[in-house]
Amino acid sequence: MTNAGENLASVLSTWAIMIRTGSTEGLAAILDENVEWQGIRPEELCRNRAEVVHVLTHNSPRLQAMTRIEGQEFGDRVVVGFEGPEIPEPRFLVVAFDDGLIVRMTSTTDRDAAFRLAGA
């Protein structure tokens, strides 16, 4: 079990490093090998760490142009919202942790849906 705020801090700190440097190493270190990431569309599904890192590396230039980040922790789940000029509409990511590792991520454009999914 992690202390309150640790999961949010893990997501935001590794995300900040990725945005600033383009390196996905920090984020990859907290991804479970079998992490799943469901994108906005049903066909956008990553089934392991390598696939997630590949997508993030491909999208890195868009992420570096973020102008707004919102985050909130709900126990083992974290919601991160972000916007920017290279991102067509606000995006929200629900991140589920298990024993300090990210095991599932779900993307949505609906803020309320993201918070409901996180258990708010």
Which CATH architecture best describes the domain 6-117?
A: Roll (3.10)
Averages of pLDDT over runs of 10 residues in the chain (120 residues) are: 87 88 91 97 95 84 76 96 86 96 97 94
Tally Cβ neighbours within 10 Å of residue 57.
Answer: 13
Give residue 30's pLDDT: 97
Strands 77-83 and 68-74: what pairing?
Answer: antiparallel
Closest to 89 in 3D by CA, of 43, 52, 40: 40
Give residue 60's pLDDT: 59
Give residue 111's pLDDT: 97
Give residue 14's pLDDT: 92
Give residue 119's pLDDT: 92
Sequence-ordered alpha helix ranges (H) in 22-110: 25-29, 49-63
Beta bridge partners of 31: 102
Give burial (CB, 10 Å; 0-12/13-18/19+) of 111: middle
pTM of the model: 0.90
